[in-house]
Amino acid sequence: MTQKYVGGCDVGSTTGKAAILDETGKVVASAIVPSEIDPEITSLKALEQACGQVPGLGSYKNLARIVGTGYGRNEVPFAHENISEISCHAMGTFYCNRDIKTIVDIGGQDVKTISIADDGSVLEFAMNDKCAAGTGRFLEAMSRIFRMDLDQFSLLSLKAVKIIPVTAQCSVFAESEVISLLARKSPPEEVAAGINAAVAKRCFSLLKRIGMRPLVTVTGGCAKNQGLIKAIKKSINMEVAPLPVDPQIIGALGAAVFAGRSGRG
Amino acid sequence: MKVFQDLLETPLNYLVEQAAADGRIPIGYSCSFVPEAFLMADKLFPVRLHAPGVAGTEIADIYLSNFICTYTRSLLEFAVDDRFDLLKGWVFVPSCVHMQRLYDNLEYLKKPAFSHILDVPRKVTAATLAWQTEELQALADKLASHFGVDMSHDSLNAAIAQWNRFAAVIQAIGELRKPPDPLITGTEFHRLLMAALVSPKDLILPKILDFKKEIEKRDGIGKFRARLMVTGSHLHDPELIRVMESQGGLVAADLFCTGSIPGFMPVEIGMKTNSDPIRALAEHAFKKTLCPRMMEDFDRRLKTIIDTVREYRIDGVVIEIIKFCDLWGVDSMPMVAALRKEGIPVLKLEREYAPGGEGQLRTRIQAFIESMGK
């Protein structure tokens, strides 16, 4: 194998993501796998799946350098370095589009807003505190009430003509509020849109804490929820810049970019 | 180090029990405006009120709303759980509205034989200094009458001399944090200091001196990525500092109620105060306590932080705020802006009194250090 590859692995609470870059810095493979209880196994699965897509690479052991990120970053024993997901999301986004200055990262267990400096480093960031409201877990719990997966839930909310506001910020109270609304025969699409609007409002308050600068993008698994993206656009009164890669792998991509630079150097 | 860790496991540790068994009088206090030296006169000794390992505040939540900070709710929980029963009394300060409500509830639910609320003005002027001296005199009279202890000037001067000896040791250990390659971590320092604040000074001092000798023999404490200063609300559990240091952020300086800057300067007796120890203690409390409860004192707090950043070669400041702490919550907004204007990186952390959520905290600290290019 003459070509050298580097990898980034983002071990999240819901999924593990991996991205592989070649020597020119081009993304040659990526993978998303469900999280296992053991973050080490998650990272192994994600990396092996991504490496399997690269002819001649074979195993993660042939990667020149690996950077781990995400909540399980400390548990990736074969990573050469671990870097926080905040820095990795900033770098991954910077790699994709240098005009993007602000990120909303909606992950499984937290929501972060990140302000990016001109060199791709982090200027400022804010995170939700000890509360699941507005996270992927929150949306998962809400979609379960509708007996839908997240994709169906997203499509449902896009059908709404009106929005029924969901006022509760706490996941537990929001769940009971949504059940009551549905029991009162409120149109499900309007309730679903209300849920997305509540999450968008929370993102907006976190964006205000760091000083929102255009362009703004959304990363993380929840960025695929088009109903939520629509609600965020409305809430921030601004377009959401699209990304040329799957927004869910941005953290892993940023980690791979750092790996290519031999760490943060 | 384990000796200090052990002393922090319970609200009233074995040294407190030992001193109480010897007929000495433990008095709890909640705020740095209560001069420790004052409660060291005669048979008295001060114990800083803390709630180590508090797991929940179910009972306290009945009496104090969810918008009251978890420090006050934790103290109430421990009080109704009889965890402070060894104390012979306590002295509170209306530091903030939350503390006042705590005191009110304690008076109603768990009034000890001796309780006192020390009124502290919110401005430092000649008139308020005179007021504070009178307030302390009233407390001295009340203690003397209730416990039969000697609160005379001679007795207070002896207590001040003892406190000054203790403070000098703490200051000297604090100085070891200053060099580029310090001899003590922030976690070790705060374990030691917090243990000292909840123990009788004379009983813990030999242990501190032993530890000082031990660390002076060290070559260093290894490499850290950045030097941090921590400021903010009550920080009693060194666990928060341990997590920061586990991410490579050496906590080299601090400014909070149980920190060392500028809290451990000696009490000046007989110089500006005509040998009136009570006035000297009032003056000292105003000088050493940089609390956002005080009005028109923002610039002094800001200057102290900026000076400390320079003196201790600090890379970034962490402002930690217990959720719903009105004082630090409001103060942090202009403080963050003012520090950033000086080019000092700042991270604002909201937390609960009891440590928790280590994963999130680690991410924030690591990202903060990375954002400084470290």
Rounded to the nearest angstrom, the minimum Cα separation between B312 and chain A is: 24
Average pLDDT over residues B350-371: 91
Rounded to the nearest angstrom, the minimum Cα separation between A256 and chain B is: 16
pLDDT tens digits, B24-55:
999 999 999 999 999 999 999 999 999 999 98
Nearest alpha carbon to residue A157 among A230, A224, A235, A227: A227
Dist CA B290 CA B297 (whole Å): 8
In chain A, CATH 3.30.420.40 sits at: 6-90+248-260, 100-242
User: Whose structure tokens read 């810095």?
Assistant: A25
Within an 8 Å CB–CB cutoff, is residue B357 touching chain A? yes
Rounded to the nearest angstrom, the minimum Cα separation between A117 and chain B is: 10
pLDDT tens digits, A135-152:
888 888 888 899 998 889
Q: What are the tokens at A265?
A: 């150097």
Average pLDDT over chain B reads 94
Query: Residue A1's pLDDT is what?
Result: 60
- Residue to mutate among B371, B372, B374, with most A CBs inside 10 A, is B371
Within an 8 Å CB–CB cutoff, is residue B364 touching chain A? yes
Q: Cα separations (Å) of A89 from A103, A125, A167?
A: 8, 11, 30
Query: Residue A263's pLDDT is what?
Result: 45
Dist CA A99 CA A63 (whole Å): 30
Domains of chain B by start residue, with CATH: 26-147 (3.40.50.11890)
Cis peptide bond upstream of B262, omega within 30: yes
Dist CA B346 CA B332 (whole Å): 10
Domain A6-90+248-260 classification at class level: alpha beta
Rounded to the nearest angstrom, the minimum Cα separation between B273 and chain A is: 47
Dist CA B201 CA B171 (whole Å): 15
Q: What are the tokens at A260?
A: 């290519």
Q: Are residues B352 and A130, on separate chains, in Cβ contact within 8 Å? A: yes
- Residue A240 phi, psi (nearest 5): -105, 120
Nearest alpha carbon to residue B33 among B116, B93, B102, B89: B93
Query: Residue A264's pLDDT is what?
Result: 43
Q: How many Cβ pairs closer than 8 A exist between chain A and B?
A: 43
The answer regarding whether domain A100-242 maps to CATH 1.20.1090.10 reads no
Task: Note the helical H segments in B64-125.
Answer: 70-80, 97-109
Q: Are residues B371 and A71, on separate chains, in Cβ contact within 8 Å? A: no
Q: What are the tokens at A153?
A: 């839930």
Q: Are residues B357 and A130, on separate chains, in Cβ contact within 8 Å? A: yes
Query: Residue A169's pLDDT is what?
Result: 65
pLDDT tens digits, B280-322:
999 999 988 889 999 989 999 999 999 999 999 999 999 999 9
- Residue to mutate among A129, A137, A169, A258, with most B CBs inside 10 A, is A129
Q: Are residues A121 and B364, on separate chains, in Cβ contact within 8 Å? A: no
Rounded to the nearest angstrom, the minimum Cα separation between A121 and chain B is: 6
Q: What are the tokens at B47?
A: 């114990």
Nearest alpha carbon to residue B326 among B216, B232, B191, B218: B232
Exposed/middle/buried for residue B370 (C-beta within 10 Å: 0-12, 13-18, 19+): buried
Reported as a pLDDT band with limits 50, 70 and 90, residue A107 is: confident
User: Whose structure tokens read 């900033």?
Assistant: A90
Q: Are residues B363 and A122, on separate chains, in Cβ contact within 8 Å? A: no
Element (H, E) at B47: strand B44-48
Q: What are the tokens at B287?
A: 């000088």
Does the pLDDT at position B272 exceed 60?
no
pLDDT tens digits, A19-33:
999 999 999 999 999
Radius of gyration of chain B (CA): 20
Give DSSP secondary structure letters for A125-164: EEE--S--TTSHHHHHHHHHHTT--HHHHHHHHHT-SS--
Q: Strand, coil or helix: what is B166?
A: helix
Local structure of residue B22 (DSSP, 8 states): T
pLDDT tens digits, A78-101:
899 999 999 999 999 999 999 999
